[in-house]
Amino acid sequence: MSISDLKPGSSSVLLDVSGMKCGGCVRSVESILLKQPFVSNASVNLVARTAWVDFQDPSQPIEPILEALEARGFPAQLRQTTITNENSSSDVDSFSEWWSNWRQLMVALVLLILSVFGHLAEGGRLALPIIGSLPFHASLATLALIGPGFKILKNGLKAALDLAPSMDTLVGLGVTSAYLASLVALIWPKVGWPCFFNEPVMLLGFVLLGRFLEERARLRTGRALKQLAQLQPDQARLLVSDGVVRDVRVGALRPGEKVQLLAGDRVPVDGVVLEGHSAVDVSSLTGEPLPIDAAPGTELSSGSLNLEETLVIEVTHIGAETALARIIALVEKAQARKAPIQGLADRVAGRFCYGVVSLAFATFIFWWLLGVRLWPQVLHTAGQGFVHGNHVHSSLGAGATTSLGLALQLSIAVLVVACPCALGLATPTVITVASGQAARHGWLFRGGDVIETAASISQVVFDKTGTLTIGRPLVASFFAIEKSERMLQLAASLEKNSRHPLAHAVLQEAQRQNLTFIPLLKCRTYPGEGLEGELEGLMEKVFVGTPEWLLSKGVSFSQDICNKLEQAALNGQSVVAVAEGNVFLGFICIEDRLRPDASIALARLRESGLKLSILSGDRREAVEKIGEKLGFPQHLLGWQLLPNQKLDRLENCREFGPLAMVGDGINDAPALAAADIGIAVGTGTQIAQESADLVLLGDRLEGLPESLLLARRTMEKIRQNLFWAFGYNLVALPIAAGLLLPSFGLLLSPPIAALLMAVSSITVVLNALSLRTA
């Protein structure tokens, strides 16, 4: 099956990938994907266990990718795109893996407790000589390896044979080395080697305990996304032709069908209201605290909550095409896209295991052949081990009695204390939590790279109409040479396919006057200037746009009309002029209102130290009036700018630092794409939202400073995690290798090393989760 068959019109897929344990695994999965001839890009998320894959040719089959991953020990499957509250295959796999890990952990902990009892018996503190014998410890170690440790050994060996060592490889080397050395010492006592049978048991116990706690914390990072998916109900009330209401599965609904919503019902699919009036809560999707008034013609998104009265809606979008599904898909892609700051950690993690194995080997050789000769005092005997005939059985944290024993103990500690997991988790855990939290508030970042860029923004450039204003301007007045109804009818007929806020005002006024629309034959949009089109039954083209644009099309104005246009401009009104051919018909004066929270949002942005400016295609007087109300000095205002002129102004602004562009219309799309980060408000047109890196759903401009603040806090958490991950390994590895042993007598035993490794990974995840409460 090809990618285009799975996701029509798409050249990207999201895969659920199992078997990843550390940053080395992430590097291996990305390498496997990028080696496929038709894969152009791949981004793997260790936390979400996903891979976002971009294809050069969507017609290529998906099976070779899945087979390549399966062959390397990373089973993968395509992520389900349809929202459902039933357990998805990935959820079932996660639960199965969790239950399997729980069983393994319980067995390992039982063995660990028995091992501790054995040590107590060895020391005479427990009157059970049988469990204090070496054969008993050997049996426990064997059970630990063939039981809870078998999967780790198998995966570690497979990764090593594939020349892609992972965390399992390091742990497997550590426990196998301790077990084999102890087995030789047990069978051939004359070699004088110490027995480390306790090490495999305790190592595996601590490693599995750490992984279990880490997995539990990791699952919490994706809770926000699951809560979004649960907003869609499983059942809907379908209105059939005979007026009977029937309960059906949401997945069975089709566009054009009618659905009844009772008070308290969640909207199951995207639709438009046909009957009824009610208040609808959209806070779960947009963060908007106040409910909207739903009436016939109102568009509702899946996941919204009907609060008061019964509504009847017509289904417009289903499945993966609903607003809720698109939001979830956008968040999933955002979690898969990496922040540039993660690059260093990934490069280090990918080669980390090679370095650790080399260090462990060097540690073994040094302490076996040279270290003890230089510092003979590092060998301790009194009170450090229990003697069983000719055997010396080392206890937890004990020093070694021979150079070989010390070399084994330190090299095993090096293998186990190393933590590539912390490096691999440092960034994606925070990105996953941040993008999920943002989605709950209606802020959709398109990736970790966008979050990192947003945190570095030093200036914000605003469009005016639909951004600083509510985007739903109203017709204040109009002037017509002859019949005002005909002028308004022609303008509305041409504007009905436009989503520009000024077009909406014209359409609203035409509907208020009950004017009929003339069928549109052809239409062309001139961004920032107007519309040119042909209407049925008219010989001449119709022009609707700025007065200056109409002048360029050969339309002339009398002096009286020019005076009226100037007066409208002085009043801060936007003017839409209308002409049929070269004949001027009149103009429409439109007023927009400031968003209620615009002043508060701008004040918070200024408090953050950001430089603010306005670049608008509107007339000078309207821009200056808005600028005066919002506290903008004139040199930070731009007016009557075409899209290419906005681009030039943005380039000039770049000398003051990274900038964000906030807009909502078609004419803003080039500027949104050219800015360091483009931000589209939720009322904007689809092309503006597709060009944006950050989409703010709803009508709250206050979401802008809040989202930028979240981006900054996110980067702080990432830096903290990276500092901890690198710092931990830089400090723990030398100590485990015996750096402090000669001077301070500090010995890091393998079990304690395993415990520290587990704590390191858990610390990174918990620090990321603290972003939810900060």
Tell me the residue type at 361: F
Q: Locate 320 and state its tokens.
A: 């993966």
d(CA 576, CA 5): 46
Can you tell me whether residue 618 is helix, strand or coil?
Answer: coil
DSSP E strands, 595-739: 611-615, 637-638, 659-663, 677-681, 694-696
d(CA 46, CA 26): 6
DSSP category for residue 231: T
Q: Is-contact 428 586, C-beta < 8 A?
A: no
Q: Locate 770 and state its tokens.
A: 């603290």
Order of strands, sheet of 520-526, starting from the edge strand that comes earlier in the sequence? 474-480, 583-591, 574-580, 542-545, 530-535, 520-526
The owner of tokens 């858990």 is: 762
Active-site residue flag, 93: no
Q: Is-contact 745 407, C-beta < 8 A?
A: no
Residue 77 CB-density burial (10 A; 0-12 exposed, 13-18 middle, 19+ buried): middle
Classify strands 194-195 and 311-317 as parallel, antiparallel or unpaired. Answer: unpaired
660 Cβ contact list (under 8 Å, min separation 6): 454, 457, 459, 460, 461, 675, 676, 677, 678, 679, 708
Q: Is-contact 435 349, C-beta < 8 A?
A: no
Q: Is-contact 661 678, C-beta < 8 A?
A: yes
Helix (H) or strand (E) holding 266: none
One-letter-per-residue 3-state SS of 308-365: CCCEEEEEEECHHHCHHHHHHHHHHHHHHCCCCCHHHHHHHHHHHHHHHHHHHHHHHH
Q: Locate 239 and state its tokens.
A: 């209105």
DSSP category for residue 80: P
Q: Is-contact 410 364, C-beta < 8 A?
A: yes
Q: How far is CA 435 from CA 10, 449, 696, 746, in A?
A: 23, 12, 13, 43
Residue 434 CB-density burial (10 A; 0-12 exposed, 13-18 middle, 19+ buried): buried
Q: Locate 774 and state its tokens.
A: 């900060």
* Residue 177: alpha-carbon gap to chain centroid: 40
| Residues 642, 645, 647, 649, CA torsion sign | negative
Q: Is-contact 542 515, C-beta < 8 A?
A: no
Q: Of 16, 265, 449, 463, which residue is the catalytic one?
A: 463
What are the residue numbers of the active site? Answer: 463
